[in-house]
A = this chain, B = another copy of it.
Amino acid sequence: MDAATIDVAGIGNAIVDVISHADEALLASEGFAKGSMTLIDAARADALYARIGPAIESSGGSAGNTMAGIASLGGNGAYIGKVRDDLLGGVFRHDITAIGIRFETPPATEGPGTARCIVMVTKDGHRTMGTYLGACVGLGPEDVDPAIIAAAQITYLEGYLFDPPSAKAAFRKAAAIAHQAGRQVALSLSDSFCVGRYRDEFRELVMKDIDILFANEAEICSLYETDDFDQAAQAVRGHVSIAALTRSEAGSVILAAGAAHRIAPAPVARVVDTTGAGDLYASGALFGLTRGLPLPTCGAIGSLAAAEIISHVGARPEARLDQLVASAGLV
């Protein structure tokens, strides 16, 4: 096979985040489980927007955030996702291309507008999300450019892609092309409720098609229907080459052939907004893997990128991650 010319190709729901501070009472009255992502329709998105406080808008989307992190680390990436040809779509496109990610998926010229996610950040820094998928439902297999996937060392897929029906087909097409080209396929489980919605499919995928798995404690436990992290971690071994399991303040564990590496979290002066913590951990770990770094170093870069993202509002890096990594002596 040819040498990869792209480090990571990410496929995800292309979303602009609308981020506000909220109190727990609002979450309760809207029936949102704290820390989760709930799908909402356009009317509910409008009604929810009218209820939240002042907000800022920032490009988001799980894989979009991860790819922005890859670029900030100095990696070479491409993104596939669907926006509309509207103002928010222009914002999403600007932000991901301006950081250096190739993004050539054509925007939808009709139908629902660019997706938005209303992110409600509670005082403890945790985020709860209501997502209107909008134009994301238009993503399909035709949007997966085989040349990009075949050229990428790792194709990274977000679990949220199982929500819009035809994106799942795009997901499977990309995984097949990647493997045919001798590349690796990574998956993030995204959200424990998302895992609950597609548990059987995810389990089969993880077993058959995924080389590198990212999940937090709740997600991996949901996948294997257990309350016990160690049991879940045990269950995933053997199904994937690498499983990177994140545990918030407790850091992360990277499981690989016969080894389990415990990774300490990077220090954070104050947790402001946890949005994007998992996405940026994935950026760091994937970047490290594409550079052939040892797994503990991959995890440490992930921890550092996650620490940067939770120290401010928004899920895209404010600091240059390559400089942070160099300062920390990790590369």
Across the interface, name the chain B residue whose C-beta is closest to A90. B49
Partner of A94, one of B50, B58, B91: B50
Question: Which residues of the other chain, B, contact A57 by a CB distance below 8 angstroms?
Answer: 56-58, 91
Residue in chain B with minimal CB distance to A95: B54
Q: What 1/0 flags go to A294-331 for Cβ under 8 Å of B?
A: 00000000000000000011101010000000000000
**A268 proximal to B (CB < 8 A):** no
Mark interface residues in A85-114 (1 if CB within 8 Å of B CB, else 0).
Answer: 011100100111011000000000000000
Q: Is the interface of A mostly helix, strand, loop or mixed?
A: mixed
Please, which residues of chain B bring their CB within 8 A of the CB of A86?
Answer: 87
* Cα distance A33–B145 in the bound complex, in angstroms: 44
The reply on A245 being an interface residue by CB < 8 A is: no
* Chain multiplicity (copies): 2
Q: Which chain B residues lie closer than 8 Å to A275 at the CB level?
A: none
Which of B20, B50, B56, B68 is close to A54, meaning CB atoms less than 8 Å apart?
A: B68
**Does A4 have its Cβ within 8 Å of any Cβ on chain B?**
no
Interface range on chain A (Cβ under 8 Å from partner) = 20 to 34
Contact of A55 among B20, B87, B88, B95 (CB under 8 A): B95
- Name the CB-closest residue of B to A58: B56
CB distance from A161 to the nearest CB of B (A): 23
Which residue on B lies nearest to A91, using beta carbons? B57
- Among A20, A91, A269, A312, max chain B CB count under 10 A is at A91
